[in-house]
C-alpha cells in the first residue's frame, strides 16, 4: 500500500490528462492509445482493440497457480459542455468526463503497475480490464466479454466514484443494486386536418398525450408496490402549426427495472398499451423497444467477502465503510456481473468544503482527487485479501 501512497500525484496527473482530453463512447482511439503506451514494455500480456473496439485487457500472471480475477474501469466521456472552470478543463468542445471515468482509469493504471511489482507473490492471475463505451448502449462490456479473453474469470470487481460523501467513505451493497434499462421509440401515425374540423381528422397528438399519462399506470397498477420500476417519456416530438391537426408524432422513453422480471413486465405492458391505442384511437403504431443494460447483481457471498476486506483494512485513507442503499442509474458492469460472481462498490468523492455537490453527468461535476488514492487502496485491499497477500 505504501507504493500507492507514493504514486498519488501520478494518479492525479493521469486523471487530469484524461480529463483534458475526453473522447465519446466508441470513439476513444487516443485514450486507448494513451493507456496502451502506459503498459508497453512492462511484464504483462497486453491485448488491444478487444471486442473490435478500443478496449484493452492487461494480464498479470502471478508467480503461483490460483484463481483469476478481473478489475474493470471504463474510460469514455459524455456529450456535455464542461462548466467547471478547472485549469485542466476539457479541450474538446461538447465533450466532458462528467461521470468520473477519468478517475476510474487513473487509479486502475497505477494500481495495476503496483500489482505488477508484486506479481511473484500473487497466487493466480489478475486481468486489468480497461473498457470503452460504458455510457452508450449496447455498451462496451459486451464486446469485452464476447472476446473470450475473460472466460476464465472466477470473480470480477469494479468501483464507481460518486459524490455521496467525503473522500475516505467507501460503500457497498448486495443483491440487485442498479436497475436494468431499456429504450423505446413510439411512432403514432394518425390523419392530419384543419384545426376547425377535428371530426375529419385523427389527432396523433391526442393519442400521444394519452399514452404519456396511461403508461404511468404500468408502474402504479401493474408492478408489485415493492418492485422498483420507472418509465420516463423524455421526448415528445409533435411540433406543428397551431391550427393544424398533427398527423404524426414520435415519443422516446426510458425504462428502468430493478430485476429482470420487472423489466420484462414493463416491456410487456408497453407493447400491450401500444397495441391497444391502435384500436382505441384508430391510429397506426410503430414501436421500437430495445432492452440494453441488465440489472446489476452483486453476488451476496462476494459482497460479504469484499465488505470484510474493507472493514478489516485498518487503512487511514479509508475512514468509513458502510452499506449503501440501492442506486437509481444503470451501469454496463451488469453484463460482467451476469456472467461472473461480482461486486461493484462505491468510492465517495465529494469535493472538500462542498455541501451540495453536482452529481455525475452534470456539466459542473468535479471530484476530490484524494478519492483516487482511496479507490486504489480499497481495490488493493480487496485484491490482497482475496489472495491473502500481506
Q: Is the pLDDT of residue 243 over 90?
A: yes
Arithmetic mean of pLDDT, 163-182: 97
Given 28, 76, 102, 267, which residue is catalytic? 76
pLDDT in tens, 204-218: 999 999 999 999 999
Q: How many whole angstroms separate alpha carbon 52 and alpha carbon 64?
A: 32
Arithmetic mean of pLDDT, 14-21: 98
Given 134, 267, 366, 369, which residue is catalytic? 134
Helix %, strand %, coil % of the chain (to 5): 35, 30, 35
Q: How many whole angstroms separate alpha carbon 169 and alpha carbon 134?
A: 24
For cell 493521469, the residue is 14
Q: Is the pTM of this model over 0.85?
A: yes
Q: Residue 1: its pLDDT value, please? A: 82
HEC sequence for 12-25: HHHHHHHHHCCCEC
Q: Is the pLDDT of residue 57 over 90?
A: yes
What CATH class is the domain 180-291? alpha beta
pLDDT in tens, 350-366: 999 999 999 999 999 99
pLDDT in tens, 365-381: 999 999 999 999 999 99
Question: Are 2-176+296-387 and 180-291 equal in CATH topology?
Answer: no
Provide the residue ranges of all domains of the chain, joining segments of one domain with +. Answer: 2-176+296-387, 180-291
76 a catalytic residue: yes
Q: What is the percent of the chain with per-residue pLDDT over 70, rounded to a whole number?
A: 100
Antiparallel, parallel or unpaired: β 64-74 and 123-131: parallel
pLDDT in tens, 289-303: 999 999 999 999 999
Type and span of the H or E element at 344: strand 342-350
Q: Where are the alpha helices (DSSP H) in the chain?
A: 2-6, 8-20, 29-39, 101-117, 141-146, 204-214, 216-217, 260-281, 300-311, 333-339, 370-387
> How many CA atoms within 13 Å lie on the side-chain side of 335?
19
Lowest mean pLDDT among 153-157, 224-228, 331-335: 224-228
Rg over CA atoms, the chain: 24
Q: Residue 368: its pLDDT value, please? A: 98
**CATH number, domain 2-176+296-387:** 3.40.630.10
Q: Is the pLDDT of residue 25 over 90?
A: yes
Dihedral over alpha carbons 22, 110, 175, 362 (to 10 degrees): -30
227 a catalytic residue: no
pLDDT in tens, 95-138: 999 999 999 999 999 999 999 999 999 999 999 999 999 999 99
Quote the longest CA-to-CA distance of the chain.
Answer: 82
Amino acid at each position: 500500500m505504501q507504493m500507492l501512497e507514493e504514486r498519488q500525484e501520478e494518479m492525479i496527473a493521469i486523471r487530469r490528462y484524461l480529463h483534458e482530453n475526453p473522447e465519446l463512447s466508441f470513439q476513444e482511439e487516443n485514450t486507448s492509445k494513451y493507456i496502451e503506451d502506459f503498459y508497453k514494455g512492462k511484464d504483462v500480456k497486453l491485448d488491444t482493440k478487444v471486442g473490435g473496439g478500443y478496449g484493452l485487457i492487461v494480464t498479470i500472471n502471478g508467480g503461483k497457480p490460483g484463481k483469476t480475477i478481473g478489475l474493470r474501469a471504463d474510460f469514455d466521456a459524455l456529450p456535455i459542455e464542461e462548466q467547471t472552470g478547472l485549469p485542466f478543463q476539457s479541450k474538446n468542445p461538447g465533450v466532458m468526463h462528467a461521470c468520473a471515468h477519468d478517475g476510474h482509469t487513473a487509479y486502475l493504471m497505477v494500481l495495476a503497475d503496483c500489482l505488477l511489482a508484486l506479481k511473484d507473490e500473487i497466487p493466480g492471475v489478475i486481468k486489468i480490464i480497461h473498457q470503452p463505451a460504458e455510457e452508450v448502449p449496447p455498451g462496451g462490456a459486451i464486446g469485452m466479454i464476447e472476446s473470450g479473453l475473460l472466460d476464465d474469470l472466477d470473480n470480477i470487481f469494479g468501483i464507481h466514484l460518486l459524490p455521496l460523501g467525503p473522500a475516505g467513505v467507501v460503500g457497498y451493497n448486495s443483491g440487485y443494486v442498479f436497475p436494468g434499462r431499456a429504450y423505446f421509440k413510439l411512432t403514432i401515425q394518425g390523419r392530419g386536418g384543419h384545426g376547425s374540423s377535428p371530426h375529419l381528422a385523427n389527432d396523433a397528438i391526442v393519442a400521444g398525450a394519452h399514452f404519456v399519462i396511461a403508461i404511468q399506470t404500468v408502474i402504479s397498477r401493474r408492478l408489485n408496490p415493492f418492485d422498483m420500476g420507472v418509465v420516463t417519456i423524455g421526448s415528445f416530438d409533435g411540433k406543428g402549426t397551431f391550427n393544424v391537426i398533427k398527423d404524426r408524432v414520435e415519443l422516446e422513453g426510458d425504462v428502468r427495472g430493478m430485476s429482470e422480471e420487472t423489466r420484462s413486465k414493463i416491456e410487456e405492458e408497453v407493447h400491450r398499451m401500444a397495441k391497444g391505442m391502435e384500436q382505441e384511437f384508430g391510429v397506426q403504431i410503430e414501436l421500437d423497444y430495445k432492452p440494453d443494460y441488465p440489472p446489476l447483481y452483486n453476488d451476496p457471498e462476494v459482497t460479504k467477502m469484499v465488505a470484510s476486506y474493507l472493514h478489516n483494512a485498518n487503512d487511514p485513507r479509508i475512514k468509513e465503510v458502510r452499506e449503501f442503499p440501492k442506486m437509481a442509474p444503470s451501469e454496463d458492469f451488469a453484463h460482467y456481473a451476469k456472467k461472473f460472481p461480482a461486486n461493484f462498490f462505491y468510492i465517495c468523492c465529494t469535493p472538500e468544503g462542498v455541501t451540495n455537490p453536482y452529481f455525475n453527468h452534470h456539466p459542473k461535476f468535479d471530484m476530490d482527487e484524494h478519492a483516487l488514492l482511496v479507490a486504489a487502496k480499497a481495490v488493493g485491499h480487496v485484491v490482497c485479501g482475496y489472495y491473502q497477500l500481506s
